[in-house]
Amino acid sequence: MDDGRIGESGNRQSGNRQSGDRQSENLASRRSFLATMAGVAVASRMPWSRFSFSTDLLAARPVPSASQLEWQRDEFALFLHFGVNTFTDREWGDGKESPAIFNPTALDARAWARSAKEVGAKTLVLTAKHHDGFCLWPTKTTEHSVAKSPWRGGRGDLVREFVDACRAEGLKPGLYLSPWDRHEPRYGDSPRYNDFYCEQLTELLTRYGAIHEVWFDGAPGPNDPQGVGANGQRQKYDWPRIWQLVRKLQPKAVMFSDAGPDVRWIGNENGTAGDPNWSTVDPNVVPYPGVGGAAVMRMLQNGDPAGTSWRPGESDVSIRPGWFYHPREDTRVKTVDQLVNLYFTSVGRNSKLLLNVPPTREGRLHEVDVARMAGMRERLNMMFARDLAAKGRTTWKQTSETSAVLETDLGTPMSASIADLREDITRGQRVAQYTLEGRTDETWKAISKGRTIGCRKLDRFTAVTVRYVRLTITETIDTPRQVRLGLYS
């Protein structure tokens, strides 16, 4: 996750990297390749732009599991990129860093959690191991960990402090474990490294209680030069084994990767979900992390209305240009306006927002970052303080097998500029096209229009004064069910 770089916390390259990190700048990445295909995906006509589905095809529409439902309804989470890169001023470490450099002098995980809670985040995700292979817990699998650092006298366990802090503040902990490991000599010796990786995963999922989200990223694809180990051999990940292990050890956790299996990468790292955005996908298009191509990008960005798997998208983005903390970026933190816009392009497009806020070398969240997040939360609270439609009289009428109309009488003319639409996704996602209109007299005027709704769709428009509002659903992929409509000034 970097501005213009590559894939998330691992498969990205910093456009502002210092000379010490030049060797990483030429590394190809699966996500850089995928990102280059984004324009192709957007430009190409979506195959479902005008579709018609038979009843047989839709006989068993996918619906979310309890864990997936909870995950998406939480809407907003924070990402914490922290490790040796924080101290080397790099985005990608090479695995040669000495553990001795890791020594945050004022680390306070509880303060991280308090800040997250204050801005409305429900989950925190920590990079327990990034691509450099340095582990933030005292693992038995390698000496490249906090156990060999001066922090806490070599007796520290940052994953423990992080998890305990989350629980103390009523938040859900998530852990990121990079499959790519530039330190481990077994990387490239596929059977041995898969054993090693599963052992690390087992430690994380058995020592710290319930883990809400398990993040898999930085897994080079079959043609990616990053996938070659020091032995010259290409690493072949055993994804079925890895996913089954998580399911066994943490059955309620959701797993993130390009290929899910529970939640998917949204296809970019700028916090922007596709429009339309279906929570259903065809799992055969993205069978494992690292696969690339235009069809993959379309699936990640837009999903598939005929998809057989429920796999909603997570929109990840950093509050700074880089994913790890760099002092030179203290003046380049996203503004409150930018953060609010990110909420609308992620949560407001049937996705979840995962905002990266990297701790400093001292182990604190920078005051500017915290202030900007607080400003975002204050702005959102003001925007959604009063639902103008909450006390209105609403009627719902199904007009055909694939269409319906909802009308609301607000009781008196009111000025509105935001529409908040929500489907009951416990029954799946259905709406494929809609129009929102309003009037004060006898003439209906278009306010907004769109395609998918899903868990939540936020439409912003120039303020209009209306008393009556009409939502016309012109196309669904299954029997229409009532949509919730909120209006805000």
Using only C-alpha atoms, what is the Rg of the chain? 23
Q: Which residues pair with 445 in a beta bridge?
A: 438
Contact, 251 vs 212, CB < 8 A?
A: no
Whole-angstrom distance, CA of residue 81 vs CA of residue 365: 11
Specify whether the backbone of 208 is left (phi greater than 0), alpha (psi in -120 to 50) or beta. alpha
Does the reported pTM lie above 0.75?
Answer: yes
pLDDT (average), residues 270-292 = 95
- Taking only the tens place, the pLDDT of each residue in 366-389 is 999 999 999 999 999 999 999 999
Contacts of 328 (CB under 8 A, 6+ apart): 16
Domain boundaries, the chain: 19-383, 393-488
- Taking only the tens place, the pLDDT of each residue in 111-151 is 999 999 999 999 999 999 999 999 999 999 999 999 999 99
Q: The dihedral of CA 179, 185, 189, 191: what is its sign?
A: negative
Whole-angstrom distance, CA of residue 94 vs CA of residue 231: 16
Whole-angstrom distance, CA of residue 278 vs CA of residue 312: 7
Helix (H) or strand (E) holding 352: strand 352-356
Which amino acid, 98? Answer: S
Residues 393-488: name the CATH superfamily: Galactose-binding domain-like (2.60.120.260)
Predicted pLDDT of residue 291: 87
Report whether the peptide linkage leading into residue 327 is cis, meaning its omega lies within 30 degrees of zero.
no
- Taking only the tens place, the pLDDT of each residue in 333-348 is 999 999 999 999 999 9
Structural domain 19-383, CATH architecture: Alpha-Beta Barrel (3.20)
